[in-house]
Amino acid sequence: MDSKTIKSLLIIFVGLLVIAVGFNYLDKSSREKKSTVTADFDLSDFTEKTVEKIRVKKGDDEKILTNKGELWKINGEEASSDKIGSFFGGLPEMKIKEVASKNIDNHKNFGITKDDAYLLAFTQNGEDKTFFIGKSGASPDLFYIKKKGSKNIYLVSGTLRGLISQDASAWLKEKSEEKEEENNDSDKIKMQ
């Protein structure tokens, strides 16, 4: 091979390398743009301090959590502060993966109908915001959600579906929490 051929091949190789890197960069940036989905709601707006009541209903099973200042109750009994903290802590961590459907006819496929879904209602400032939590996705932390009044169904990752599907007894304050509080109260009395 003569030097002209080698130079030509080198120029062609560098050109192809630049094109390949450019396409890879464009493809990566377009994938990042696609993964940013904005929903027509933001569950991080609901906090332990601002929510007055949470209602979870599926079929005949209904759980009502009420905020009594520093104390949360579920169906009239004291709720676990750890469970409440996990619930509210998980709301801002939820990630919208994609718009699963904008077609009302598909609601049944995603478990979003009134008969199939978990109804989740937050009462804040005396106003209810209601959501329908549907079927699980391909993995346990994926599920479908829709805001009442919207036709959009979103695929979301997070712990919300797992928490609301638990029986009311799982939300109750445990005996170990009560003993810990009693010990803290007696320590406070001793200090005074």
In this prediction, residue 36 carries a pLDDT of: 65
Model confidence at 187, in pLDDT bands (50, 70, 90)?
low
DSSP 122-182: EEETTEEEEEEEEEE-SSTTEEEEEETT---EEEEESSHHHHHTS-GGGGBPPHHHHHHHH
Q: Cα(9)–Cα(137) distance, rounded to whole angstroms?
A: 50
Q: Cα(10)–Cα(7) distance, rounded to whole angstroms?
A: 5
In this prediction, residue 4 carries a pLDDT of: 84
Instruction: Map residue 55 onto helix, strand or coil.
Output: strand
Model confidence at 134, in pLDDT bands (50, 70, 90)?
very high
pLDDT at residue 79 tops 80: yes
Task: Look at the block and give the residue holding tokens 């190789």.
Answer: 13
Maximum Cα–Cα distance across the chain: 95
Whole-angstrom CA distances from 22 to 19, 78, 179, 189 are 5, 59, 63, 69
In this prediction, residue 181 carries a pLDDT of: 57
pLDDT at residue 183 tops 70: no
Q: Taking residues 120-137, what's their average pLDDT?
A: 95
* Bigger pLDDT: 27 vs 148: 148
Q: Are 165 and 106 in contact (CB under 8 A)?
A: no
